[in-house]
Amino acid sequence: MKKTILIFLFLTSLYGSISFGQVPGYMGKRCILKANIHGMPITGFLFANEKPLDFNFKFSVGMDYVISRNISFGISAEQVNDIILLNKLSTTPIGQSYPAAPTTFKSAANFYGYNLGANMKFFLNRSSGALAPFGRYFVIEYLKNYVTVSDDGRYYASGNKQINTISTSTILIGMGSQKILFNRLVIDTNLKYGVNFYGLTRIKASDTRIDFDPVYAACTSKMFSDYLFTLSVGIGVLAF
């Protein structure tokens, strides 16, 4: 699936370059370097036992390049640094695990890693002047996610113990707007809806695994909720 998406993005970029020949961009500039902050409250509260106003902020840097009058192609690298809550498990004399009572202290684990992304922005209303890289746009984005989960010292009573690694993918689509100030400064805002493939595995997982594997349950909920809806704000410069 991810190979198909990357091939699609590449072919779209190639088509834009061939079809439109010389690309003016904005005052002759086509490359934007920028930094972004991403987050969204409520979704973690609904799906991952987080606080209602936990934004789950992520930070990224990236580059966009105009490939036609209304299309730009971008790449990004994003930092992930968070925590997840785990239900502490107890063990019976015969070795069977079961969820602890509700009053038992909930442990936590470090949840960190990075995402590598590629996106296409399709700028709208060309007749009214919304030409890349300026104006409203539709965006499709692919993220490759790499996450490590390690004990913070409360779950296994020993710090820095790796308890899970995740390598998965996320597809996002959304709408946004990009403004250019002083012919150099770029302000970019968008709202995206996303589907994380690891988070979706929870739907097919058995109740037994969800109940008796707190690490799996917490990680799938976290990946699902973090990318379900994402509000992004970016600031950058027209480089060349």
Q: What is the pLDDT of residue 103?
A: 38
pLDDT digits (tens, 9 = 90+) for 123-177: 986 655 556 788 999 999 999 999 999 886 666 655 568 889 999 999 999 999 9
217's enclosing H/E stretch is: helix 214-228
Q: What is the pLDDT of residue 172?
A: 98
pLDDT digits (tens, 9 = 90+) for 180-204: 999 899 999 999 999 999 999 988 7
pTM above 0.85, yes or no: no
Token digits for 155?
């779950």
Contact 86, 65 (CB under 8 A): no
The DSSP string of 134-200 is: SEEEEEEEEEEEEEEEEEESSSSSSEEEEEEEEEEEEEEEEEEEEEEETTTEEEEEEEEEEEEHHHH
Token digits for 147?
């996450």
Length of the chain: 240
Q: What is the pLDDT of residue 106?
A: 61
pLDDT confidence of 21, banded at 50, 70, 90? Answer: very low
In CATH, the number for domain 2-238 is 2.40.160.20
